A and B are shown apart, each in its own frame.
Chain A
């Protein structure tokens, strides 16, 4: 599910100043959204150094491509997607270094900012079930331990709310691969929950 967020009046003015190259406005952008982007990026990257590198790349890319930003989504949504692209690029570059099998024929970054329509502004699409921190941590830990592609598929489709086509574009894989991989990831999570949780409570670690 995707939701297009319109830019607000004051944000529109900020975008105009950013496009004009106003450095003070860029600092406002960084300070306003930096923490949020670190939270998003931390879903994909483990080490703090990688998270910081990736967030820096996010802002550099945003700085370079703000001219193409059409304002069809909020700045936050646009930055969200840029941040995910940056994190995925970092993962891919690390995987190449580890000589993993990665299809590197696809450029991940869409610096035209097309189809920017996030996001599932959590809370709109998710039932706000009250689950304990222990359960939350157990579920996240399992997702963290999934194979890289499975984890990213689950995060992009079920957590970020991207559609199959957008996810395929971000990961450089086919839509069919997204669907089969997502099913595998969801089944793995289901099995883990059945084996380790009961009525939303952690049975054992």
Chain B
């Protein structure tokens, strides 16, 4: 990765531009050329490197924080609510 990045000017984008591109970078929707420029800048600039790592980790932590309610949800619909829905959907005679 470093060898490839060395062929591209890491200052072709600014730190501000790097931040602007980060979401598309993480979603892999940047063009190859922009991605290479992004990678070069990331490897060159420690602030941007740290920003990207922490930004990506924040997203992952959020996903992890909610993961268990899918896996282990144990909430039950109250019986009174079940009956209310059934009543509301009962065909009117």
Using a CB–CB cutoff of 8 Å, the interface residues on chain A facing chain B are 21, 23, 26-27, 30-31, 34-39, 42-43, 52, 55-56, 59-60, 63, 121-123, 125-129, 131, 135-136, 139-140, 143, 154-155, 158-159, 179, 182-183, 186-187, 189-190, 193-194, 197, 200
Contacts and interface: CB of A to CB of B under 8 A. Distances in A.
B23 A179 contact: yes
B21 to A, nearest CB: 10
Contact of A23 (B63, B71, B76, B90): B90
A158 B56 CA distance: 11
Contacts of A121: 70
B42 to A, nearest CB: 16
B86 A23 contact: yes
B75 A126 contact: no
Main secondary structure of the interface of B (DSSP, over half): helix
Interface of B: 22-23, 54-55, 57-71, 73-78, 81-82, 84-86, 88-91
Contacts of B54: 190, 193-194
Contacts of A35: 73-77
21 contacts: A23-B91, A27-B86, A34-B81, A34-B82, A43-B66, A43-B69, A56-B84, A60-B88, A122-B63, A122-B67, A122-B70, A123-B71, A128-B64, A128-B67, A129-B61, A139-B61, A143-B65, A158-B63, A159-B63, A183-B22, A187-B55
Nearest to B64: A129
Given A60-B88, A158-B63, A136 B68 contact: yes
B76 A60 contact: no
A143 B62 contact: yes
Contacts of A63: 89
A140 B89 contact: no
Given A52-B81, A123-B70, A183 B65 contact: no
B60 to A, nearest CB: 6
A189 B58 contact: yes
A159 B77 contact: no
